[in-house]
Amino acid sequence: MAFFLTATAVSCLGLALLLRFNKKRQRVYFKGRPQRGSHTLTLGGWLLVLIPGVALLFLGQWSAFLSWFGGLTVIGWLVAVKKPTAEQSP
Amino acid sequence: MSVVNQAQSRRLVAVHGWSGTVLGLLLYVVVLTGAIAVFAHEIGEWATGGHASVEAFAQPIGPRLEELAEDVKPEYLDEVVVFSDSAGNIQVRFHTHEERDGGRIEDIGVRYILDGNNLEVLQRDEGWFSELPRDTSGALEDFIVDVHVNLYAPFPWGLYATGILGLLMLSAVISGVLLHKHIIKDLFVSPRKSSKLLFRKDRHVLAGSWSLPFGFVLAFTGAFYSFAISIGLPVVAMVAFGGDQEQMIETILGAPVPENTAPAQLASLEDVIADTTRRNGAPPVSLTVSHWGRADAVISVFHGPTEEQLYGQVHLFEGTSGEYKGPKPIVGTEPSMGAAVVGLIGPLHFGNFGGLLSKIVWLSLGLACCYVTLTGLQMWVERRAESKAWQRLGRLIPIVGYGTAISLAGAGFGYFLSAGGDPSVWVTRAFVITAVLCIMAGYAVRDRRLMENVFRAALGLGLLALPVLRILTGGPGWGEACGAGASMVIGVDLVMVIAGAAALRSVSRERATARSVQPAVESAV
């Protein structure tokens, strides 16, 4: 449980970075504001998302790894699918 | 970048769309019941009023089994299976395997249902196991599992159907992957609201992209389970063993121990259970004794998955001495890659390797797959708005989408209202009656938005009513359940209440949106 929670929390942080600095999403959610983000931030986001999974595999925590992978896909979907508000939508 | 050219892409769109459309609604039923079946045992426990979280083999079961063994025909001592059911009772099945008309080998013997607390006999049934009165405590969970595994169709046709649906889902997943031009970028696309169709497409792509890996895993493992039993094993027996099923079983399960019919005292089951619990780090979930009371007796103990071990383990013990003989791989007699792969299929399909946590994740993944199936169907139909045939299918989407969930809640009503009758019969009847009512309501209410609101309200009210009905029909209240340590009852009640309230809230939000849009439209006109 502790492995799963830690890994998922770290990956969610990475997910938040990727969502915040994704150019397509910025055009919708931060319309009219200057676009932010860089390759380094995107790379950092992906590393934060994926490294916990690699760590779980390295530690032999198979059960936590599968739960983390499944949980991450569900959380990622639920966050990404959020509807833009009427003001935000292009 | 896409790996296919434009012409191939068009063909793949056709494959992707048709594979989802042809049997998409049936696939949805299988996936939804599968998602709920992840919690089938917990639902069974909830329906029966739950039981304290005591271990199945905490009681000294050995002496009790010896008493029961004296009360059955000697041939039924060929194999004895012991496990704990959803109601917390212990089921003991003394049986042998005999050929019936048509050449099928079936189990025949005596089934005891013992009170899990004091091992008193609650029920005794004798005969072909397929014809024994159904175990009423598991009626609701058996029904959910049966709809998922067989679509409630007889063997092997139900397995063929669900296997084909699994392959269709695989085909949709693979064509979906090949169709994606920017699969990673699509993970973060924001649903566009410039048109209804684009909005639906973006949401479908998002859900599909995120759930791709598990869509593949669930479809593959599901198709494996359907076809391994109905086609795989007979084909292997035919091709590799020239039709010799016994030789095939020996190769897969290992050769039986040399026969020795001399009478012999069985080792202490309590010692065996203590030994296997120590080795595995957790108590067993079931136990089988082959050749009870004979010198060639073997005790096989089954353990469920644990946090350290993804798939279940079987430990073998010598029957008369209780000596540990080692673990038994799922396939063959020695540990192998094949056995590990087959062993992994179960936890990957059922999500039962990490307790409640992994089950919650697997339920969510199943619901995500339901969403992908329905939104895909909806898009396919909306793109063919001019065709009456497709519009008729379009009308069926919310009917089946909401109707299946409402009918499952209806099955719960059937279970609780079956007082004096056979719950397994009433669960089925209630499911069918509710499904018919949903179809009638779906065709009676012409306005699509109103129809969806009616379905959501029915689902919400049904889910909210189930915990109340459970208590009114004699189930324990929260105080009693808490005192008895039956936390699962309270947990499932809470989930029902939250899901029911969410469904009702969505109706109220939908109506509020409709009310706010209406004046705007009127003022524009």
State whether B185 and A24 contact (CB < 8 Å): yes
ipTM over 0.85: yes
Do B496 and B467 form a contact (C-beta atoms < 8 A)?
yes
State whether A83 and B193 contact (CB < 8 Å): yes
- B193: which chain A residues are within 8 Å (Cβ-Cβ)? 83-84, 86, 89-90
Instruction: Pick A70's closest partner by Cβ from B194, B308, B365.
Output: B365
Q: Is A29 on the interface with B (CB under 8 A)?
A: yes
Best mutation site among A81, A85, A87, A88 for testing chain B: the one with the most B CBs within 10 Å?
A81
Give the pLDDT confidence of A27-83 residue by residue, as tens digits.
Answer: 777 767 767 777 888 899 999 999 999 999 999 888 899 999 999 999 988 877 777
**What pLDDT is attached to residue B283?**
86
Cβ within 8 Å of residue B448, ≥6 positions away: B395, B398
> Taking the model in full, what pTM does it have?
0.86
Mean pLDDT of the region B99-128: 87
Mean pLDDT of the region B474-484: 89
Q: Is B307 on the interface with A (CB under 8 A)?
A: yes
State whether A90 and B192 contact (CB < 8 Å): yes
Mean pLDDT of the region B123-152: 88
State whether A84 and B353 contact (CB < 8 Å): no
Q: Is A81 on the interface with B (CB under 8 A)?
A: yes
Give the pLDDT confidence of B328-384 residue by residue, as tens digits.
Answer: 887 777 778 878 888 888 899 999 888 889 999 999 999 999 999 998 888 888 888
Per-residue DSSP letters for B357-421?
HHHHHHHHHHHHHHHHHHHHHHHHHHTTTT-HHHHHHHHHHHHHHHHHHHHHHHHHHHHHT-TTS
- B305: which chain A residues are within 8 Å (Cβ-Cβ)? 63
**Residue B341 to chain A, least CA–CA distance (Å):** 14
The edge-to-edge listing of strands for the beta sheet with B313-318 is: B121-128, B105-114, B90-99, B79-84, B286-290, B298-303, B313-318, B324-328
Bridge-based pairing of strands B105-114 and B313-318 is unpaired
